Each structure stands twice: as C-alpha cells, then as structure tokens.
Amino acid sequence: LLPASFWVGQSWLETAMLCTLVVLVLVTEILNTAIEAVVDRIGPEWNTYSKAAKDLGSAAVLLCLLLCSSVWAWALWERLA
C-alpha cells in the first residue's frame, strides 16, 4: 500500500496520511505481537489478565485496520470519482 499511496493521494498531505496509516497498522501489529510474546513467556496457564491483555492488543489492531480501511476507501473513492 505504501507505493499505492503516491498514486491515490491527490496532495502531499493525503499521501502522507495514507502512508502514516499503513505504518500505524504495522506498529500496532508489532506491539500486539510483543504483548502476546510476553504473556506466553510468563506461563502457559490460563489467566484472566493474560486473556484481557491479548484481547485488547487484538482489538487495537482491529481498530487500526478499520481506520486504515475507511480512510483508504475514502481516498480511492475521491480518486476514482
């Protein structure tokens, strides 16, 4: 998506926003992976706090993906309209 942002973005601000959103999704996924690795390292037994940490990390990734998808859909709509 990063190369596509230079074609979809109609101004430097739009291009920067599209690139930033893609990188934000990647950063959130990296943080979620780190949370899961730490929780798994602590122990294999089931724990309410461990489950909550993993669920919240996954929810953060989902919200970032939804934000990124909606902004990209808007930008594509504007580009193709």
What would the DSSP string read from start to end of the chain?
Answer: -HHHHHHH-SSHHHHHHHHHHHHHHHHHHHHHHHHHHHHHHH-SS--HHHHHHHHHHHHHHHHHHHHHHHHHHHHHHHHH-
SS3 call for 45: coil
Which residues are the active-site residues? 29
